[in-house]
Amino acid sequence: HLGVEPDIFTSAKGLGGGIPIGAMLCKKFCDIFQPGDHASTFGGNPFACAAALTVCETLETENILENVQARGEQLRTGLKAIAAKYPNHITEVRGWGLINGMELQANSELTAPVIVKAAIEEGVLLVPAGPKVVRFVPPLIVTEAEIKQALAAVEKAIAKSV
């Protein structure tokens, strides 16, 4: 997204699909450890490694990342349409893939916790990111229909909160 190519890349939480694991990838010039130089208590756990391998294979074979891009665009487009209806309350919609936020106007009486509570009553689980940002982080396998349903519920939640 930003044109940055890191020398070192770390991954953890999502890598194991709920099973604890972490990984570090680095460029060749970082390859200074010899076998036995570095140890860890749980390094190389076969169960965690098998889970991580399955996650990686699933991401590739089931086109998960393509779904993330398509559903992320759908979500942002829908949230921007909702924001256009409430310009006195919503200042910005932003995000990449399926990690998105809707920022509320600083001078609006509407707060993220109020929207989150109203959305839960409509059947959608959201999370506040501070008092003025509502965070949208659906699962990577979310469907087009589920995004539509969530957008309708969010719009209803905002309408009853203003």
Residue 3 lies in a domain: no
Question: Sorting pLDDT into bands at 50, 70 and 90, what band is 13?
Answer: confident
| Integer angstrom CA distances of residue 91 from 44, 103, 114 | 46, 6, 16
Query: Is the pLDDT at 44 greater than 90, yes or no?
Result: no
Residue 2 lies in a domain: no
pLDDT at residue 92, rounded to an integer: 98
Question: Sorting pLDDT into bands at 50, 70 and 90, what band is 8?
Answer: very high
Please give the Cα distance from 59 to 112 (Å, whole number): 32
Please give the Cα distance from 151 to 96 (Å, whole number): 17
User: Based on the structure, what is the number of domains in the chain?
Assistant: 2
Buried b vs exposed e over 69-100: b needs ≥16 C-beta within 10 Å? eebbeebbebbeebbeebeebbbebebebbeb
Q: Are 122 and 157 in contact (CB under 8 A)?
A: yes
Shared domain for 144 and 78, answered yes or no, is yes
Shared domain for 101 and 155, answered yes or no, is yes
Residue 26 lies in a domain: yes
Domain extent at residue 57: 8-61
Shared domain for 23 and 89, answered yes or no, is no
- AA letter at 120: I
Shared domain for 57 and 103, answered yes or no, is no
Q: Any residues with CB less than 8 A from the CB of 55 and at least 6 apart, and which? A: 14, 15, 16, 17
Question: Sorting pLDDT into bands at 50, 70 and 90, what band is 69?
Answer: very high
Shared domain for 57 and 82, answered yes or no, is no
Per-residue pLDDT of 87-143, as tens digits, reads 999 999 999 999 999 999 999 999 999 999 999 999 999 999 999 999 999 999 999
* Cα 80 off chain centre by: 18
Residue 12 lies in a domain: yes
Shared domain for 44 and 91, answered yes or no, is no
Query: Is the pLDDT at 1 greater than 90, yes or no?
Result: no
Question: Sorting pLDDT into bands at 50, 70 and 90, what band is 31?
Answer: confident
Shared domain for 70 and 45, answered yes or no, is no
Query: Is the pLDDT at 52 greater than 90, yes or no?
Result: yes
Residue 1 lies in a domain: no
Considering only residues 92 and 26, tell me which one the structure prediction assigns the higher pLDDT.
92
**Of 28, 43, 61, which one is at a domain's C-terminal end?**
61
pLDDT at residue 2, rounded to an integer: 83
Query: Is the pLDDT at 37 greater than 90, yes or no?
Result: no
| Integer angstrom CA distances of residue 159 from 24, 105, 127, 140, 156 | 45, 15, 18, 28, 5
Residue 123 lies in a domain: yes
Shared domain for 83 and 41, answered yes or no, is no
- CATH number of domain containing 108: 3.90.1150.10
pLDDT at residue 10, rounded to an integer: 92
pLDDT at residue 161, rounded to an integer: 94
Shared domain for 93 and 28, answered yes or no, is no
Shared domain for 84 and 42, answered yes or no, is no
